[in-house]
Amino acid sequence: MADEKGPGHSRRRERSRQAIFAATRDLVAEGPYEKVTVEAIAARAGVGKQTIYRRWPSKSSVVFAALLALSEEADGQPPALPDTGDLRADLSLVMRATVEEFADPSFDRLIRALTTEIANDAALAAEYREKLARPLAEAKEARLRSAQEAGQLDADADLGLVLEVLYAPLFQRWLHRSGPLSAAYADSLVDAALRAFGPRAGVKPPAGRTAG
Amino acid sequence: MADEKGPGHSRRRERSRQAIFAATRDLVAEGPYEKVTVEAIAARAGVGKQTIYRRWPSKSSVVFAALLALSEEADGQPPALPDTGDLRADLSLVMRATVEEFADPSFDRLIRALTTEIANDAALAAEYREKLARPLAEAKEARLRSAQEAGQLDADADLGLVLEVLYAPLFQRWLHRSGPLSAAYADSLVDAALRAFGPRAGVKPPAGRTAG
């Protein structure tokens, strides 16, 4: 589509998109969130506010797009988890990285603002699930499925529930600021999930179930 | 203090307090939350807005007080969990009740509004922890400690972490509307927590650890 107007247009469009996202992230990081407006974003990015409204209907949707772009920029690939064959090591790596991300002040502000919007906006919550949470969850589930096939997780384990047990405590601790976000904490969640959903060696299997 | 002005004053004060809380809960339930103001609460409760401001500095603090009063009204006692000696049954009862509470639309609106405020207001988050989350967590931990002493939980289990694994997935699923809040889900969390933190009979202990 953009190419119909030539490569120059496409480049300018991408440049303005990046300027809008950078301005949004800066303004959110500076806070308070109520003071972040589409007008302020446009002024900071050096574009007209219609340039923003043509592509995003509201402040919350441009904030969300700016967050989304952050994970795109990181690698440009669909997300995937490391798979060295050592489930504990791979999960520990990923959980420690997630803990670090949440402990980063500028990410903290952005995701806190978005969490606020999502809690009260069912449409944005759906977009968040579709564009960010679900692709990430699928990448994580793929790693867990490979572990399950290798017999490192119980054959009956609900992989969605495994992810909830891994990530929800971290998310809640961050949201409520109710405890330290440390590498040791990340590892304690990995331990808990592996004990809850690991193969039940030495534990009496449920009636009627044969060894998988 | 209130008694210095006589029992009539104290009764009137309590009546206006209850009227303010009822008005707050009604207005929040009607939504949207941005439209709930101290002025609107005062008008609905039939009191002057100074009556509110004398006791609560902001909208968020009166909303929080209204939520807190709800759990006071329920029994008037400090919270305690059932202790029949059957940990799984007791946790299942409590988790199913919590799931039902979150699935109740008027509670949903109130706690969603408060979650929004808490996410962005560190002082309110501290008040929430102190007055609501901590007493509840202590009641839950007391029940877990009794189970731990009875050998139904691992002697090394971190009871705070057990609570996070039980409640955080439920909270996140509710906040993100990412799955059904059902009795079966409540039970699956109890199962996961008991597998993760139950006594490690028959499971090979980590290297260097002696049987506790």
What is the DSSP secondary-structure string of A93-111?
HHHHHHHHHHHSHHHHHHH
Dist. CA A85–CA B193, nearest whole Å: 26
Residue A170 shares a structural domain with residue A119: yes
Residue A5 per-residue DSSP state: G
Query: In this structure, are B127 and B161 located in the same domain?
Result: yes
Reported ipTM: the value is 0.76
**Do B123 and B53 belong together in one domain?**
no
Report the C-alpha gap between A50 and A33 in whole angstroms.
Answer: 21
Q: How far apart (Å, rounded) are the C-alpha atoms in residues B16 and B31?
A: 22
- What pLDDT score was predicted for residue B161? 96
**Among A107-121, A153-167, B116-130, B197-211, where is mean pLDDT lowest?**
B197-211
- Note the pLDDT of residue B4: 60
Residues A13 and A112 in one domain: no
Domain match, A84 and A143 both: yes
Tally Cβ neighbours within 10 Å of residue B22.
15
CA geometry: angle A155, A157, A159, nearest 5 deg: 120
Looking at residue A44, its amino acid is: R
Nearest to A165 among B113, B165, B177 (CB): B165
Question: Cα separation of B21 and B53, whole Å?
Answer: 13
Higher pLDDT, B154 or A106: B154
- Is A158 close to B188, i.e. CB distance below 8 A? yes
User: What is the C-alpha to C-alpha distance for residues B212 and B200, in angstroms, rounded to an integer?
Assistant: 9
Length of chain B equals 212
Residues A169 and A116 in one domain: yes
Whether A42 and A102 share a structural domain: no
Q: What is the pLDDT of residue A209?
A: 44
pLDDT tens column, B165-206? 999 999 999 988 888 999 999 999 999 999 999 998 544 444
Asked if A167 lies within 8 A of B164 by C-beta distance, the reply is no
Q: Is A125 within 8 Å of B165 when comparing Cβ atoms? A: no
In this prediction, residue B10 carries a pLDDT of 85
How far is the alpha carbon of A119 from chain B, nearest alpha carbon, in Å?
6
Angle at which helices A105-120 and A87-103 pack, to 10 degrees?
90
Q: Is residue B67 part of a domain?
A: no
State the total domains in chain B: 2
Residue of A nearest to B179 (CA): A160
- Once rounded to an integer, what is the mean pLDDT over residues A117-138? 83
Residue B75 is predicted with a pLDDT of 57
pLDDT at residue number B208: 43
Q: How confident is the model at residue A129 (pLDDT cuts 50, 70, 90)?
A: confident
**Residues of B at the A interface (Cβ-Cβ below 8 Å)?**
32-33, 112-113, 115-116, 118-120, 122, 125, 128-129, 133, 158, 160-161, 164-165, 167-169, 171-173, 175-179, 188-189, 192-193, 195-197, 202-204
Contacts of B64 in chain A (CB under 8 A): none
Chain A residues with CB-CB distance to B under 8 A? 32-33, 112-113, 115-116, 118-120, 122, 125, 128-129, 133, 158, 160-161, 164-165, 167-169, 171-173, 175-179, 188-189, 192-193, 195-197, 201-203
What distance in Å separates the CA atoms of residue A147 and residue A84, rounded to the nearest whole number?
Answer: 10
Chain A residues close to B33, C-beta within 8 Å: 120
Q: Before A32, cis peptide (omega within 30)?
A: yes
Determine, yes or no, domain membership for A51: yes
Please tell me the predicted confidence (pLDDT) of residue B205.
42
One domain, residues A105 and A192: yes
- Tell me whether residue B39 is in a domain: yes
The CATH number covering residue B48 comes to: 1.10.10.60
CA distance A101 to B178: 22
CA-to-CA dists, residue B174 to A135, B165, B180, angstroms: 20, 15, 8
Using alpha carbons, select from B2, B200, B134 the residue that is nearest to residue A198.
Answer: B200
Beta-carbon separation of A120 and B196 below 8 A: no
- Binary contact (B179, A169; C-beta < 8 A): no
CB contact under 8 A, A164 and B175: no
Which residues of chain A lie closer than 8 angstroms to B171, CB-CB?
A: 168, 172
Supply the pLDDT for residue B2: 46
Residue B65 inside a domain? The answer is no
B172-177 contacts at long range (C-beta below 8 A, 24 or more positions apart): B172/A164, B172/A167, B172/A168, B172/A171, B172/A172, B173/A164, B173/A168, B174/B102, B174/B108, B175/A115, B175/A118, B175/A119, B175/B112, B175/B115, B176/A118, B176/A125, B176/A128, B176/A129, B176/A133, B177/A122, B177/A125
The 10 Å Cβ neighbour count of residue B73 is 10
Specify the pLDDT at position B78: 64
- For A176, other C-beta atoms within 10 Å of its C-beta total 18
| Same structural domain, B31 and B131 | no
How many C-beta atoms surround the C-beta of residue B114 within 10 A?
22
Minimal CA–CA distance to A162: which of A136, A139, A196, A186?
A: A196
CATH number of the domain to which A192 belongs? 1.10.357.10
Residue A48 has pLDDT above 90, yes or no: yes
Looking at the fold, whether B15 and B109 belong to one and the same domain comes out as no
Same structural domain, A18 and A93: no
Spell out the residues 6+ positions from residue A81 whose beta carbon is closer than 8 angstroms to its own.
Answer: A90, A94, A139, A140, A142, A143
Which structural domain range is residue A88 located in? 78-197
